[in-house]
Amino acid sequence: MGFPYETSSWTDVSGPIFMGAGTSAPSIYAVIGLLICIGALAFGQAKESAKYAKYK
């Protein structure tokens, strides 16, 4: 298929590639990701604790 751009250098890039750069978007996305990870860990711990207590 080939390379999708005419040149493979960053010299022709004007402005940020990420549209949220310079705003609070990266912080918001990091907090959302952190909450999802903590939620997954808490859910897993609750399920494991329940199974352990059942077969103890």
3-55 confidence digits (pLDDT tens): 566 666 777 667 667 778 788 999 999 999 999 999 999 999 999 999 999 88
| 33's tokens | 């990701």
pTM: 0.63
Return the ∠ at Cα 39 (arms to 54 and 28), rounded to 5°.
180
pLDDT score, position 15: 67
**Domains in the chain: boundaries:** 24-56
Q: Is the pLDDT of residue 1 over 70?
A: no
CA-based nearest residue to 32, from 17, 44, 20: 20
Buried (b) or exposed (e) across 24-48, using 16+ Cβ within 10 A?
A: eeeeeeeeeeeeeeeeeeeeeeeee
